[in-house]
């Protein structure tokens, strides 16, 4: 009799095993079904987030270059832009350096000013604008005639030492 029980148990285990495998297969297949509503919502949110990041990056680049966000101009009855007086000129902006070229700490009080090197891109020589003081890290380009310019900035310390020029930034003034 013990042999009969063993075979009934083995058959029961085999049937139980088949049911477990079938149940797992059904669970896996059910998990693979796409919830199209959730998928579309996630895709839409990802697109919005991506567009927002792209817009932020473009805005940051425009801000670094001193170029305002493009706006669609409204014109008055005379054909002149309605907000012509409110147009602000592009502005160069930079961060004050925190270290000297040798890696030592540079305090804001050690900075005596900045020099802005600029040229029209088709020219070889640079012009220089000297700014005194350590607090003003921006410069409006209001007196520049239209053209394609290249700008670099250096910092001057209180001993008269000048840093290397920053990476060049190109700005198209229209």
- Select from 91, 95, 93, 137 the least CA-distant residue to 113: 137
The whole-number pLDDT of residue 162 equals 94
Separation CA 164–CA 149 (nearest Å): 19
**Spelled out in words, what is the top-level CATH class assigned to the domain 87-173?**
mainly beta
Under 8 Å between Cβ of 97 and 163: yes
Task: Give backbone dihedrals phi and psi of 153, rounded to 5 degrees, phi first.
Answer: -130, 145
The whole-number pLDDT of residue 88 equals 80
The whole-number pLDDT of residue 39 equals 52
pLDDT in single tens digits along all 174 residues of the chain: 444 444 444 444 455 445 544 555 444 555 555 555 555 556 666 666 656 665 655 555 555 555 555 544 444 454 545 555 557 888 999 999 999 989 999 998 999 999 999 999 999 999 999 999 877 899 999 989 999 999 999 999 999 999 999 999 999 998
The whole-number pLDDT of residue 22 equals 52
Other beta carbons less than 10 A from residue 45's beta carbon = 10
The whole-number pLDDT of residue 135 equals 79
The whole-number pLDDT of residue 154 equals 96
């Amino acid at each position: 009799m013990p042999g009969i029980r063993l075979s009934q148990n083995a058959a029961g285990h085999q049937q139980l095993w088949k049911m477990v495998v079938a149940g797992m297969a059904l669970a896996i297949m059910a998990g693979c079904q796409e919830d199209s509503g959730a998928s579309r919502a996630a895709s839409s949110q990802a697109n919005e987030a991506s567009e927002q990041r792209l817009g932020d990056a473009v805005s940051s680049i425009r801000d670094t270059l001193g170029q305002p966000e493009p706006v669609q101009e409204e014109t008055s009855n005379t054909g002149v832009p309605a907000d012509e007086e409110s147009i602000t000129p592009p502005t160069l902006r930079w961060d004050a350096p925190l270290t000297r070229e040798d890696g030592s700490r540079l305090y804001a009080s050690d900075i005596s000013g900045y020099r802005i090197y600029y040229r029209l891109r088709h020219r070889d020589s640079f012009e220089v604008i000297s700014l005194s003081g350590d607090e003003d890290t921006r410069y409006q380009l209001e007196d520049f005639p239209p053209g394609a310019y290249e700008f670099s900035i250096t910092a001057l310390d209180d001993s008269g030492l000048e840093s290397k020029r920053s990476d060049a930034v190109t700005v198209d003034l229209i």
